[in-house]
Amino acid sequence: MNVRLRHLYSRWPCKATLTPRFTPLTTKRCHASGSREAAYPAPRPRRVVYTSKSALWSSPIHPILHCAYEENFEVPSSHKRFHDEEVARLPNTIPLWNAREVALELVGKEAYQTCIMPNIWLRENCLCNECINSDTLQRAVDTFSLPQDIQPSKVVIAKQGLQITWQDGHQSLHPWAWIENHKGLENNLNYRIIHRKEEDTRVYWGAEIADNPPSVHYDEIMASDVGVGVWTEKIRKYGFCYVDGCPVSPKKTEELLRRISFIRETHYGGFYDFTSDLTMKDTAYTSLALPAHTDTTYFSDPAGLQMFHLLSHTSGEGGTSLLVDGFKAAHILQQEDNIAYGFLRTFKLSAHASGNEGITITPSKEFTVIEGFRVANTRDLLRIRWNNDDRVTPRLSPATAGWYKAARKFNEILKRKDMEYWAQLEPGRPLIFDNWRVLHGRSAFTGTRRICGGYINHDDYISRWRNTNFTRSRILRHIL
């Protein structure tokens, strides 16, 4: 991890040397809680760059300059550079005068940002064995027994990280990679673990996936967790995967599904085995055609994975399955109509399941059709909620008409021939897909079809994917 650090200094007109001053930062101004002159020896940096930041000046005659040092440090061309050979040795100890936080500037590959770390945050998140239970990896320190105004007695910028000695003598070390991991947007666990660029192997696809759909053999999955890792990685990468060579048996299918995690119970039950007899009042239990949709949009937490295993289809034809990559559709929508994309990322709706007596399920709040971490970035998509049959009446607002226009555009993209992957399910070849990403449907059919399968929670699927594809130390490095 390439972390670059910047410290705040003040150059006073009457002084010939730089005087370190620690200052709590605000959005517009820096106010010093005190100032002292001192000598802080430190190793000579390879490069010293001063960058004037007039927006942070405390007054016209007391400009605050940022001193940055690190190996291979580079300043954006938009910033003026000052090279001062007289001040080549910078302090590695941050002076503290009743400060409530440690302020550093972490400079990444693209830009730098100020990182304000409250003392209480640094202390409660100490990574030592006294503060984290080594058996359970849970926090062992009682956060609320720590003084709210806790103070460090010494903060040292070391090669391995930020070293802090607290006033009670406790010592903490926060590696630079750990600090980088916990700043800004990346503090979201799902974003850090699931959507880091080096771990985001997702491939968008359309109708061309029919030439080589992802699949894994049943025996490989059942033999070891290595096979489960191959399986979950393909689900992660493409959003769906077939399993070849599965026994045509509900029991064996259930055992297969449980290789990922336990089966989620819903008002449909747990592991299901059904025919088109309308036992449950839902169009899925009919022989009608179903447009591309995601399941359980009426839950606050929609089902994560869904498996279908066609056990038999007698005295009839049809029932071809449809899959559409919802993330690719969202990406195309943003490219072709960014305003429509914005509507589906911001306008919130609800859904319901009310067909059966005694059941009226709605989510705890309204959600958008397209969910993600950053509105402008389709690589950060989290989930698609799209089921026109289960959607409730949208609330009236100035944006309602715009939402209908945007939804029509999204629907048109979903129905493009080059977006639709059609395939006939076969006995002995279960299909599993990510219900948060891949929309599914089917053509109408005649005769009697028997299908078994079930749901798995998305969090449990992601946990299984992580633990069968990455080392535990790598996973925990992004969590703790």
The dotted CATH code for 201-480 is: 3.60.130.10
- The tens place of each residue's pLDDT in the chain, 480 residues long, gives 444 444 433 222 322 222 233 333 333 333 333 333 233 233 332 222 223 232 222 222 222 222 222 333 232 333 323 233 322 333 455 555 456 777 766 555 555 567 788 999 999 999 999 999 989 999 999 999 999 899 999 888 888 889 999 999 999 999 988 887 787 644 455 555 555 544 578 999 999 999 999 999 999 999 999 999 999 999 999 999 999 999 999 999 999 999 999 999 999 899 999 887 656 556 777 889 999 999 999 999 999 999 999 999 999 999 999 999 999 999 999 999 999 999 999 999 999 999 889 999 999 999 999 999 776 666 689 999 999 999 999 999 999 999 999 999 999 999 999 999 999 999 999 999 999 999 999 999 999 999 999 999 999 999 999 999 999 988 887 787
Q: How far is residue 428's CA from residue 468's CA, in Å, rounded to a whole number?
A: 25
* Domain 4-187: top CATH class: alpha beta
Question: Could you give the C-alpha distances from 148 to 37, 122, 126, 144, in angstroms and in order?
Answer: 29, 12, 16, 8
Q: Domain locations in the chain?
A: 4-187, 201-480
The encoded tokens of residue 55 equal 């927006």
Quote the tokens at residue 410. 């999204």
Q: What is the pLDDT of residues 254-282, one digit of tens each?
A: 999 999 999 999 998 999 998 876 565 56
The pLDDT of residue 177: 83
CB atoms within 10 A of CB 208: 9
The model's pTM is: 0.74
Centre a 10 Å sphere on the Cβ of residue 48 and count the other Cβ atoms it contains: 18
For 90-114, what is each residue's pLDDT tens digit?
Answer: 345 555 545 677 776 655 555 556 7
Distance between CA atoms of 375 and 381, rounded to whole angstroms?
A: 9
Residues 436 and 313: beta-carbon distance below 8 Å: no
